[in-house]
Amino acid sequence: QKEVEQNSGPLSVPEGAIASLNCTYSDRGSQSFFWYRQYSGKSPELIMSIYSNGDKEDGRFTAQLNKASQYVSLLIRDSQPSDSATYLCAVNMAAGNQFYFGTGTSLTVIP
Partner 1 sequence: NAGVMQNPRHLVRRRGQEARLRCSPMKGHSHVYWYRQLPEEGLKFMVYLQKENIIDESGMPKERFSAEFPKEGPSILRIQQVVRGDSAAYFCASSPRRGNNEQFFGPGTRLTVL
- Does 99 bind partner 1 (CB under 8 A)? Our answer is yes
Binding mask 50-89 for partner 1 (x = CB under 8 A): -x------------------------------------x-
Calpha distance 74→61 (Å, rounded): 7
Q: Which is nearer to partner 1, 5 or 71 (CB)?
A: 5
Q: Which stretch binds partner 1 (CB under 8 A): 18-26, 28-36, 56-64, 73-81?
A: 28-36
Q: Which is nearer to partner 1, 25 or 101 (CB)?
A: 101
Helix (H, G, I), strand (E, B) or coil at 81: helix
Q: Which is nearer to partner 1, 26 or 49 (CB)?
A: 49
Q: Which stretch binds partner 1 (CB under 8 A): 40-48, 52-60, 61-69, 72-80?
A: 40-48
User: Which one, of 85, 99, 78, lies nearest residue 9 by Cα?
Assistant: 85
Residues 6+ apart with CB under 8 A from 89: 4, 6, 21, 23, 25, 33, 34, 35, 36, 72, 74, 101, 102, 104
Do β-strands 11-14 and 105-110 pair in parallel, antiparallel, or remain unpaired? parallel
Where does this chain bind partner 1 (CB under 8 A)? 4, 31-32, 34, 36, 42-46, 49, 51, 88, 90, 92, 96-104
